[in-house]
């Protein structure tokens, strides 16, 4: 099996596991494990994907499916496919094109992508070059000047949706990062130097190309850009642990455009999101990277949709590895799905070409699976299509 992976090229990557294997070969190990890893025993991370296996699709036939429509409208944004790229940090560490590659690939597929507060390309550059719907992800910092400046910059750069992340009130216990010593920017230790030496192509790109920076933050804080810090420590020390519902509402008012809370898991909180006027919620546990032992988004989806699905757009974020996972979440009432690792491994493996291939594979799967389900439009998906075991 390893020999097959060793010589695999992008065009031969049929699924996310293939891209993960390629990313593993290309990246210094602390960086691979930062993407792949999760909190504590990584139980929640595994469950996020396994949850989709707890039910089965029940297809219909003879439905005339020569053309199908997989477009959806979520938080006022029309997406050509019902899956988008969640915001993720530090993308230029994974591939030198970073967010530029992801943004261009998402644009090609007519879908949305997120740029993180901890992004490595500026919102101004992305806003000026990319036309597809754009989400800016906000971390609520203790430094209110920084938090406000990011909201203003996202608005000026014409981002369409603001996602306030609410599940990182303190850093998750990411033991792989503790073991490898992963920091942003990468700290040069004897172990990381060995890892860099073993991955000369990555290392040459990292040192020879545009200097690493966090443009959303660098005028306010040095941590992450020029002072090395782990992501967990960043959350614990830089973000405001007093953040509450009133703060979230104030952010929504200041933003004034489609607004969502990223990291909602309970019905009670979903209802409060409606109360503060949010346009959407991303049902998410941060890819299992924060509270290990928390429930998976897919397991939690039905009760949240039942409670608020008629008043707010519900997005199922995390664990998606196949088109059928998307169909199952939409059948339960999600307006769209989103994910991180599903495009990050591909970014690390091959930049924009990799992300395009990964999104193309998933779009192909969604299209094929809709046809096999006898489903002409995503609106036709419903709980009738699903049986839990």
Ligand X SMILES: Cc1cc2nc3c(=O)[nH]c(=O)nc-3n(C[C@H](O)[C@H](O)[C@H](O)COP(=O)(O)O)c2cc1C
Annotated catalytic residues are: 286
Site for ligand X in 291-320 (CB under 6 A): 317-320
Closer residue to ligand X, CB minimum distance, 162 or 375: 162
Closer residue to ligand X, CB minimum distance, 176 or 375: 176
Site for ligand X in 153-192 (CB under 6 A): 165
- Is 98 a residue that touches ligand X (CB under 6 A)? no
- Rounded CA-CA distance 14/323 in Å is 12
- Chain residue whose CB lies nearest ligand X: 340
Closer residue to ligand X, CB minimum distance, 48 or 122: 48
Binders of ligand X: how many residues, by CB under 6 A? 24
Site for ligand X in 40-59 (CB under 6 A): 48
- Rounded CA-CA distance 203/120 in Å is 17
249 touches 277 (CB < 8 A)? yes
Beta-carbon contacts of residue 286 (< 8 Å; ≥ 6 apart)? 165, 167, 168, 172, 263, 318
Site for ligand X in 15-34 (CB under 6 A): 34
Q: Can you tell me which of 74, 93, 342, 375 binds ligand X, judged by CB under 6 A? A: 342
Task: Read off the DSSP letter of residue 42.
Answer: -
Rounded least distance, CB 124 to ligand X, Å: 18
Task: Read off the DSSP letter of residue 229.
Answer: B
Closer residue to ligand X, CB minimum distance, 214 or 375: 214
99-118 mask for ligand X (x: CB under 6 A)?
-----------------x-x
Rounded least distance, CB 285 to ligand X, Å: 8
253 touches 279 (CB < 8 A)? no
Site for ligand X in 237-266 (CB under 6 A): 262
Please give the angle made by the CA atoms of 77, 94 and 39, to the nearest 5 degrees.
80
The DSSP line for 246-308 is HHHHHHHHHH-S-EEEEEE-SHHHHHHHHHTT-SEEEE--GGGTS-TTPPPHHHHHHHHHHHH
Q: Can you tell me which of 27, 68, 83, 89 binds ligand X, judged by CB under 6 A? A: 89
Rounded least distance, CB 64 to ligand X, Å: 33
- Rounded CA-CA distance 389/386 in Å is 10
Q: Is the peptide bond before 260 cis (omega within 30 degrees of 0)?
A: no
Residues that bind ligand X (CB under 6 A): 34-35, 48, 86-89, 116, 118, 137, 165, 262, 284, 286-287, 317-320, 339-342, 344
């Amino acid at each position: 099996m390893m020999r097959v992976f060793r010589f695999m090229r992008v065009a031969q990557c049929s699924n996310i596991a293939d891209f993960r294997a390629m990313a593993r070969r290309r990246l210094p190990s602390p960086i691979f494990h930062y993407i792949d890893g999760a909190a504590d025993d990584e139980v929640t991370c595994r469950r996020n994907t396994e949850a989709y296996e707890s039910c089965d699709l029940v297809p219909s036939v003879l439905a005339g499916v020569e053309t199908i429509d997989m477009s959806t409208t979520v938080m006022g944004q029309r997406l050509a496919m019902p899956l988008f790229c969640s915001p993720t940090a530090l993308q230029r560490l994974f591939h030198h094109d970073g967010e530029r590659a992801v943004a261009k690939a998402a644009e090609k597929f007519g879908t949305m992508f997120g740029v993180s507060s901890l992004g490595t390309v500026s919102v101004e550059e992305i806003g000026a070059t990319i036309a597809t719907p754009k989400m800016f992800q906000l971390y609520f910092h203790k430094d209110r000047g920084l938090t406000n400046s990011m909201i203003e910059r996202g608005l000026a750069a014409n981002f369409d949706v603001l996602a306030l992340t609410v599940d990182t009130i303190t850093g998750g216990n990411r033991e792989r990062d503790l073991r490898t010593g992963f920091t942003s920017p990468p700290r040069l230790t004897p172990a990381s130097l060995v890892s860099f030496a073993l991955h000369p192509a990555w290392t040459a790109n990292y040192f020879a190309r545009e200097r690493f920076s966090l443009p959303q933050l660098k005028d306010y804080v040095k941590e992450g850009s020029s002072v090395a810090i782990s992501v967990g420590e960043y959350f614990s020390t830089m973000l405001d642990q007093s953040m509450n519902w009133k703060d979230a509402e104030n952010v929504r008012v200041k933003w004034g455009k489609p607004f969502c809370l990223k990291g909602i898991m309970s019905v009670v909180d979903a209802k409060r999101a409606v109360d503060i006027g949010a346009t959407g919620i991303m049902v998410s546990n941060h890819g299992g990277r924060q509270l290990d032992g928390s429930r998976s988004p897919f397991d939690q989806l039905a009760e949240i949709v039942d409670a608020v699905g008629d008043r707010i757009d519900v997005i199922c974020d995390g664990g998606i590895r196949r088109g059928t996972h998307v169909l199952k979440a939409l059948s339960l009432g999600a307006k769209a799905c989103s994910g991180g690792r599903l495009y990050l491994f591909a970014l690390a493996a091959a930049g924009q070409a990799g992300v395009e291939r990964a999104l193309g594979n998933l779009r192909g799967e969604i299209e094929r699976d809709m046809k096999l389900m006898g489903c002409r439009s995503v609106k036709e998906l419903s709980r009738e299509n699903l049986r839990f075991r």
